[in-house]
Amino acid sequence: MYRLTQNKPIIILLTLTFLLTFFIGCSEDISGDGNGEAPLLPPDDSMTLDLSLFGGGKLEAPVLPSIPGSRLNFTAAATTALVINTIVVARLSVPVAVFTAAKSAIPVKQDDDSWLWSYSRTIGVETFTANLTGKREGDQVVWSMKVSNTSSLRPLDNFEWYTGVTSRENGSGSWQFFNRDTPEQANPTYAIEWNVERGVKRERTFTNQEAGSPYFGNVVRYAVEGGMASISFTEADKGSTTIIEWSLNTSAGSITSPGYKKGEKACWGPDKLDIACE
């Protein structure tokens, strides 16, 4: 009894050490550091931008408003949004739609410590079999989306549609898209850089890398900070940049473009009517 009493502090210390080690191990596993759980999927909106103010959805063409003389400024911005939608959003709409369906799949750990999301998604007349993999490498997660379909017109067989890299905490990353019309070659179409400061700011930059395209080198930067959203649209062939800004709360905004009103800032109010800029 005396010996047990004498050793009691040691027993307590050893027990506490064991419990501490156990709970730290569990905590690391839950956070993903121990590779015990699948990495978080990158956010859906890391691949697109929201043009809904200008009459369309995130993946739909904006509908230009009627053009009474008092709404010329908003209409100019909506026209630019239509161009951006055509060359960026619509171009990426199908691969983005395939990616967003990954949330419905259960990831399975692979022998190489990567994780696989395997599922199917039908878009229009095409059904895609998708295999999205994510693997932790150091402080990053590396992504790859490979797809197949049974289309007779545009067949795909384990085609790597896009690759990506995200930070462990899922706050920033990049995407590289490839041309599905040349599946035998890795011809890039768009590169995206994105960053999220949760509750503060979201940024995305889309760069056209499609060789031979009239839009090659064009850059679209989209940002949301506080209650404001903005687009910076640089057209490489013209060497010009158009900037559109608007309030997410009131819809009031402005456009500054070399090709509109001699490059002077032009504004609209909450009702989209032209107003003088402050």
**Structure confidence by residue, pLDDT tens digits, 18-43:** 433 433 333 333 334 455 899 999 99
96-122 pLDDT per residue, tens: 999 999 999 999 999 999 999 999 999
Q: Is the predicted pLDDT of residue 62 greater than 80, yes or no?
A: no
Beta-strand (E) ranges in the chain? 108-109, 115-123, 126-137, 140-148, 159-167, 172-178, 188-197, 201-208, 219-225, 228-235, 240-247, 253-256, 266-268, 274-275
CA distance linking residue 137 with residue 169, whole number of Å = 13
Instruction: For residue 88, give the nearest of 212, 219, 246 by alpha carbon.
Output: 219
Beta-strand (E) ranges in 88-182? 108-109, 115-123, 126-137, 140-148, 159-167, 172-178
Q: How confident is the model at residue 225 (pLDDT cuts 50, 70, 90)?
A: very high
What pTM, to 2 d.p., does this model score?
A: 0.83
DSSP designation for 86: I
Cα-Cα end-to-end distance for the chain: 86
CB 136 within 8 A of CB 113: yes
- pLDDT in the model for residue 27: 35
